[in-house]
Amino acid sequence: MSQIRRLVLDVLKPHEPTNVEVASAIGDLQDVDGVNLSLYEVDQQTENVKITVEGTNVNYSLVLQTIENLGGVVHSVDEIIAGKKIVEEDETLHDRG
């Protein structure tokens, strides 16, 4: 199994803990170099966030466990980059049209 370099997750979470606390908790995980947490929807009880995690060897299970322990639910894994180098999504002919 190759190493996961980047994970993009769509997460539904309660207002507490705050987004700062969630980002900080994920950032504290081993082999995580950086975290980006963007808020894109706020509801009465919950908020939808997009969490991007980058690192040399991101442990998906640990990230998932941390999010669940903080009361969040991973709705979908929107992007995964694994392997020796980071490969960005390439534009196809269909995208250009």
Partner 1 sequence: MSFNIEEGRYVILGSIDGLLATLGIILGVSVVSASNSIVVSAGFGGAIALALTNGLGSYLAESTIEHGKLLKTEKSLLRKLDNTYVESQSKKRIVKDALTHGGASFLASLVPLAPWILGVGSAFVSVVLSLITLVVLGVYSGYISRQNYIMSVAKMVGLGTLIIITVELLRIVHLVS
Residues forming the site for partner 1 (CB under 8 A): 12-14, 16-17, 43-46, 68-73
Least separation in angstroms between CB 28 and partner 1: 13
Within 10 angstroms of residue 3's Cβ, the number of other Cβ atoms is: 14
Least separation in angstroms between CB 14 and partner 1: 5
In the complex with partner 1, the residue whose CB is nearer, 27 or 71, is 71
- C-alpha to C-alpha distance for 6 and 86, rounded to whole angstroms: 8
At a CB cut-off of 8 Å and minimum separation 6, what does 37 contact?
Answer: 19, 22, 23, 26, 49, 50, 51, 52
Distance of CA 56 to the CA centre of its chain: 14
Least separation in angstroms between CB 76 and partner 1: 14
In the complex with partner 1, the residue whose CB is nearer, 56 or 69, is 69
